Amino acid sequence: MTADLTITDVRLTPVLVSDPPLLNTQGVHQPYAARLIVEIVTAGGITGFGETYGDTKYLDLARPLAEALPGRQVTDLNGLFALAATVEVDAARMGSADVGGQRGVQTADKLRLSVVSAFEVACLDALGKARELPVHALLGHKVRDRVEYSAYLFHRWEQHPGGQGESDDWGAATDPAGIVAQARRFARDHGFRSFKLKGGVYEPAEEIAAVRALAAAFPDAPLRLDPNGAWSVPTSIEVAEELRDVLQYLEDPTTGTPGMAEVASRTGVPLATNMCVTTFPEIPEAFATGAVQVVLSDHHYWGGLGRTRELAAVCRTFGVGLSMHSNTHLGISLAAMTHVAATVPNLDYACDSHYPWQSEDVLTGRLTFRDGCLDVSDAPGLGIEVDRDRLAVLHRRWLDDDGTMRDRDDAAAMRRADPGWVAPSVPRW
């Protein structure tokens, strides 16, 4: 291997990974979720890895970007973003909201950023390997040795409708006792010390009961509830008042910045979001109206690790808290999240991660939580190794799929159990 950092090849590998039947306000997770693995190869023989959403619209954008990159330097991240900005987005494929709004608005820029983030991470991984420096050092060096994550609790079924997909041994969790049992397992197996419950699935009173049960079982643990905008402003205020003594924050109780601002002005519970502030242009109104007290960054749709640090600086400036959002993801993204989280001084809360729900990965060894934290790797690059056989198996699954699983559609998955299901309009309650 030489230090020639010219990009000679970019490989895109879409994969389907097993996902459990986790419930949310839109429906239920499909048995498999699509992710895209990006590999950037340098003339010096180094390969860097990145990961992002794998739905068709992301893949369609990734292809022209991948073709345009050879000949450029992995160090040229500004050039990478400028190039990505020129890639055409097919408006017909886009829709106005991401996954029924669960990741906020969908704009051409946000789609591009979600794609280019994986290329940025792959460039940083390659550069780190070439320089024998961890990614966090390329971002200005870590300010902490461990990054704390929160247990991400879901109401869920035992199996996917019709027994599709892989099964696991978690069992169903459709009531407060099931949620507490799930939390105990997360605490036992991973040491998580804070808990987030995905809400918007059952009537608010049932979800209040689940949070109360968690508070009784884990008296000192920070708790969060996230109904993904399923509630009206009055319902949001009522739930906030009911749970104000136990919630660390309430996440996206209602949709839209004005509604969030109204809830925030009428309750003492901090509000967090990964729905009404998901792009830089959404920040001014939200911060000026006090609509959110915590922004949940997501390096995929904020545009990578550098942009995540920019978001952190804006939040710091305005005294708004910062944490991290997560969707179904593999170890490459978890490693990237951990590196950037390690460099942000104002990371005020434990980050979300779906990773414990993913029984499959493309890494040779799984990343392991200890006391709810991941150690920040000091190995070159992201500090991970990709298992090519596993990657090939998960890619084969994607190739063999008839297209049903390649695009996330929680409402369609729900219709397998309830043929009349349509994703509820919000506010649902």
Ligand X SMILES: O=C([O-])C(=O)C[C@H](O)[C@@H](O)C(=O)[O-]
Active site residues: 198, 325
Q: Least Å distance between CB 318 and ligand X?
A: 21
Quick one: which of 26, 52, 194, 274 contacts Mg ion (CB under 5 A)?
Answer: 274
Check if the beta carbon of residue 5 is closer than 8 Å to that of residue 42. yes
- Between CA 294 and CA 260 the distance in angstroms is 12
- Between CA 241 and CA 243 the distance in angstroms is 6
Is position 262 an interface residue for Mg ion (rule: CB under 5 A)? no
Write each residue from 162 to 181 as x if it is in contact with ligand X (CB under 6 A), else as -, in one continuous string: --------------------
Quick one: which of 19, 55, 251, 407 contacts Mg ion (CB under 5 A)?
Answer: 251
Task: Classify strands 321-324 and 294-297 as parallel, antiparallel or unpaired.
Answer: parallel
The Cα angle at residue 369 between residues 363 and 370, in degrees rounded to 5: 140
Q: Least Å distance between CB 97 and Mg ion?
A: 14
Q: Which does 22 bind (CB under 5 to 8 A by kind): Mg ion, ligand X, none?
A: ligand X
Q: Least Å distance between CB 379 and Mg ion?
A: 31
Is position 106 an interface residue for ligand X (rule: CB under 6 A)? no
- Between CA 140 and CA 135 the distance in angstroms is 9
Closer CB to Mg ion, 39 or 226, in the complex: 226
Task: Classify strands 373-375 and 247-251 as parallel, antiparallel or unpaired.
Answer: unpaired
Positions in 255-294 near ligand X (CB under 6 A) = 274
| Candidates 27-35, 45-53, 162-170, 247-255; binding stretch for Mg ion (CB under 5 A) | 247-255
Check if the beta carbon of residue 229 is closer than 8 Å to that of residue 200. yes
- Between CA 63 and CA 40 the distance in angstroms is 13
Q: Phi and psi at residue 265, in whole multiples of 5°? A: -75, -15
Quick one: which of 136, 198, 329, 397 contacts ligand X (CB under 6 A)?
Answer: 198
| Candidates 35-43, 117-125, 201-209, 323-331; binding stretch for ligand X (CB under 6 A) | 323-331
Positions in 228-257 near ligand X (CB under 6 A) = 228
> What totals of helices (H) and strands (E) does the chain contain, helices first?
15, 12
Quick one: which of 12, 99, 211, 373 contacts ligand X (CB under 6 A)?
Answer: 99
- Between CA 154 and CA 136 the distance in angstroms is 31
Is position 194 an interface residue for ligand X (rule: CB under 6 A)? no
Q: Which does 363 bind (CB under 5 to 8 A by kind): ligand X, Mg ion, none?
A: none
Write each residue from 210 to 229 as x if it is in contact with Mg ion (CB under 5 A), else as -, in one continuous string: ----------------x---
Q: Which of the 8 DSSP states describes residue 425?
A: P
* DSSP secondary structure letters along 57-122: HHHHHHHHHHHH-TTSBTT-HHHHHHHHHTS---HHHH-SBGGGGTT-B--HHHHHHHHHHHHHHH
Task: Classify strands 223-226 and 195-198 as parallel, antiparallel or unpaired.
Answer: parallel
Quick one: which of 136, 156, 307, 325 contacts ligand X (CB under 6 A)?
Answer: 325
Q: Phi and psi at residue 375, in whole multiples of 5°? A: -70, 145
Q: Least Å distance between CB 237 and ligand X?
A: 20
Is position 30 an interface residue for ligand X (rule: CB under 6 A)? no
Positions in 48-107 near Mg ion (CB under 5 A) = none
Closer CB to ligand X, 81 or 152, in the complex: 152
Is position 297 an interface residue for Mg ion (rule: CB under 5 A)? no
Closer CB to Mg ion, 397 or 428, in the complex: 428
Is position 142 an interface residue for ligand X (rule: CB under 6 A)? no
Is position 24 an interface residue for Mg ion (rule: CB under 5 A)? no
Q: Least Å distance between CB 298 and ligand X?
A: 9
Q: Is the dihedral of CA 154, 159, 160, 166 positive or negative?
A: positive
For the range 362-365, what are the long-range contacts, defined as Cβ-Cβ under 8 Å and sequence gap of 24 or more? 362/15, 362/37, 362/330, 362/331, 362/332, 362/386, 362/387, 362/390, 362/391, 362/394, 363/330, 363/331, 363/332, 363/387, 363/390
Is position 207 an interface residue for ligand X (rule: CB under 6 A)? no
Closer CB to ligand X, 5 or 405, in the complex: 405
Closer CB to ligand X, 22 or 271, in the complex: 22
* DSSP secondary structure letters along 1-57: --S--BEEEEEEEEEEEE---BB-SS-B--SEEEEEEEEEEETTS-EEEEEEE-SHH
Closer CB to ligand X, 22 or 130, in the complex: 22
Closer CB to Mg ion, 62 or 277, in the complex: 277
Binding residues for ligand X, rule: CB under 6 A, are: 22, 24, 99, 102, 198, 226, 228, 274, 325-327
Binding residues for Mg ion, rule: CB under 5 A, are: 226, 251, 274
